[in-house]
């Protein structure tokens, strides 16, 4: 197993490099000269030439990638075209906000999904089961950006209970765990949680139904074990797979929250990406995508390692 863990960690390195290469290529596939990603289009010709030399853009592509990678590893993601500030300075606060939103949403979705899926799997074929399955399908089919708008219409416009925008009073982006801030979190969190809710419900329902059909459960029943004790056995068997799904969902939400953050003006990476797209600010676009994708690669690795550690049945050479 140690060998497997080591191999899995080593395998993540070429993947991370390749992901970096895809992000590097984003600027190359953009229409126009890649130099447009560094200097504004109205810069004088001699400045453009100088910058080209400074950034090594006169060198062949592999050399450029090497240079870019060298800078990225040192934490230099370039400068924003729109603000002139280093990309990392805006990104570092945004990524914290996105992580918090994604974490809260996937936790909520995971809890709801476990309850719904557990009930549905235990009482298979009942009204409860059909309701849970219906909710799960709705959860994965709903355009979450639209659900966010409907939430705003109901809870902000009609009922006036919760704020529709931002992450704190007065548009501040400094987070604190008090009601003034938390009430800004409620709507985006609930909106974003429906996707993991749907997927976890489906997974847990399948897992529970499969485990309940196995012979050892019948044996435990025959032995006279109480329902509660059998429940613990089911949880123990379902946990590794369910946790793996949850971990990946956290990663998907970090990418998927782009649209929901736009709806709620949540000051995270989604909003940053949105304004970068709008202003064609390629360094910000590239840097944000790179950091989010790297988080996803790391998360995939952690989930795999945790699953192997948690489930003694997985013995990978």
Partner 1 sequence: MSTATTPSAAEAELAVQARQAQAKSDGYWAGVWKRVRRDPVTILCASILLLMLLAIVFAPLLAPHDPYQGSMIRRLRAIGTPNYPLGTDELGRDILTRLLYGGRLSWFMGITPVVFAFIIGTTLGVTAGYVGGKVNMAIMRVTDVFYAFPSVLLAVAISGALGAGIFNAILALTLVFIPQIIRVAESVTQGVRSLDFVDAARASGASGFTIVRVHVLGNVLGPIFVYATSLISVCMIIASGLSFLGLGTKPPEPEWGLMLNTLRTAIYVQPWVAVLPGACIFVTSICFNLLADGLRQAMDVKG
Question: Residue 181 or residue 265: which is nearer to partner 1 going by CB?
Answer: 265
Interface positions, 75-94, toward partner 1 (CB under 8 A): none
Is position 303 an interface residue for partner 1 (rule: CB under 8 A)?
Answer: no
Is position 245 an interface residue for partner 1 (rule: CB under 8 A)?
Answer: no
**d(C-alpha 12, C-alpha 97), whole Å:** 26
In whole angstroms, how close is the CB of 156 to partner 1 at the nearest point? 9
Question: Residue 44 or residue 143: which is nearer to partner 1 going by CB?
Answer: 143
Would you call 249 helix, strand, or coil by DSSP?
helix
In whole angstroms, how close is the CB of 129 to partner 1 at the nearest point? 14
Q: How far is CA 113 from its chain centroid?
A: 17
Cβ neighbours around 89 below 10 Å, total: 13
The residue within the footprint of partner 1, chosen from 100, 239, 259, 310 (CB under 8 A), is 259
For partner 1, what does the binding mask look like between residues 114 and 143, x meaning CB under 8 A? Answer: -----------------------xx-xxxx
Q: What angle do CA 146, 204, 308 make, to 5 degrees?
A: 110
Is position 166 an interface residue for partner 1 (rule: CB under 8 A)?
Answer: no
**d(C-alpha 279, C-alpha 277), whole Å:** 6
Is position 219 an interface residue for partner 1 (rule: CB under 8 A)?
Answer: no
In whole angstroms, how close is the CB of 147 to partner 1 at the nearest point? 8
- Contact indicator for 266, 274 with CB cutoff of 8 Å: no
For partner 1, what does the binding mask look like between residues 14 and 33, x meaning CB under 8 A? Answer: -x--xx--xx--xx-xxx--
Q: What angle do CA 91, 95, 99 make, to 5 degrees?
A: 175
Would you call 79 helix, strand, or coil by DSSP?
strand
- Contact indicator for 156, 247 with CB cutoff of 8 Å: no
Cβ within 8 Å of residue 137, ≥6 positions away? 198
In whole angstroms, how close is the CB of 29 to partner 1 at the nearest point? 6
Report DSSP state, residue 34: G
| Residue 231, CA distances (Å) to 116, 195, 217, 243, 307 in order | 15, 26, 10, 17, 21
Is position 74 an interface residue for partner 1 (rule: CB under 8 A)?
Answer: no
Name which of 197, 217, 76 is nearest 140 in CA terms. 197
Is position 293 an interface residue for partner 1 (rule: CB under 8 A)?
Answer: yes
For partner 1, what does the binding mask look like between residues 265 and 284, x meaning CB under 8 A? Answer: --------xx-xxx-x-x--
Question: Residue 161 or residue 216: which is nearer to partner 1 going by CB?
Answer: 161
For partner 1, what does the binding mask look like between residues 177 and 216, x meaning CB under 8 A? Answer: ----------------------------------------
Cβ within 8 Å of residue 173, ≥6 positions away? 93, 97, 166, 167, 267
Name the strand (E) or helix (H) holding 54.
helix 45-55
In whole angstroms, how close is the CB of 216 to partner 1 at the nearest point? 23
Binding site for partner 1 (CB under 8 A): 15, 18-19, 22-23, 26-27, 29-31, 137-138, 140-147, 149-150, 152-153, 157-158, 251-252, 254-256, 258-259, 262-263, 273-274, 276-278, 280, 282, 285-286, 289, 292-293, 296-297, 300
């Amino acid at each position: 197993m140690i060998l497997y863990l080591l191999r899995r960690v080593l395998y993540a390195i070429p993947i991370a490099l390749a992901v970096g290469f895809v992000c590097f290529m984003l600027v190359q596939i953009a229409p126009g000269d890649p130099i447009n990603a560094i200097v504004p289009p109205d810069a004088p010709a001699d400045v453009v030439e100088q910058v080209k030399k400074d950034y090594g853009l006169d060198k062949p592509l592999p050399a450029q990638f090497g240079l870019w990678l060298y800078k990225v590893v040192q934490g230099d993601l370039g400068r924003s075209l729109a603000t002139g500030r280093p990309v990392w300075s805006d990104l570092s606060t945004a990524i914290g906000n996105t992580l918090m939103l994604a974490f809260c949403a996937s936790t909520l979705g995971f809890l709801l999904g476990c309850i719904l899926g557990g009930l549905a799997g235990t009482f298979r074929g009942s009204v409860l089961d059909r309701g849970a399955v219906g909710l799960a399908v709705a959860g994965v089919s709903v355009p979450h950006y639209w659900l966010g708008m409907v939430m705003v219409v109901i809870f902000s416009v009609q009922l006036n209970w919760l704020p529709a925008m931002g992450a704190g009073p007065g548009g501040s982006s400094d987070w604190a765990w008090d009601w003034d801030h938390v009430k800004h979190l409620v709507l985006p969190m609930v909106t974003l949680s429906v996707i993991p809710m749907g997927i976890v419900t489906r997974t847990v329902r399948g897992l529970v139904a499969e485990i309940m059909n196995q012979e050892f459960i019948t044996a435990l029943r025959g032995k006279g074990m109480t329902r509660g004790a059998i429940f613990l056995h089911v949880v123990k068997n379902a946990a590794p797979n369910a946790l793996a799904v949850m971990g990946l969902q956290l990663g998907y939400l970090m990418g998927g929250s782009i649209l929901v953050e736009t709806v709620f003006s949540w000051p995270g990476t989604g909003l940053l990406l949105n304004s970068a797209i709008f202003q064609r600010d390629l360094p910000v676009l590239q840097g944000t995508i790179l950091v989010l994708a790297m988080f996803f690669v790391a998360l995939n690795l952690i989930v795999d390692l945790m699953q192997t550690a948690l489930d003694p049945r997985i013995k990978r050479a």
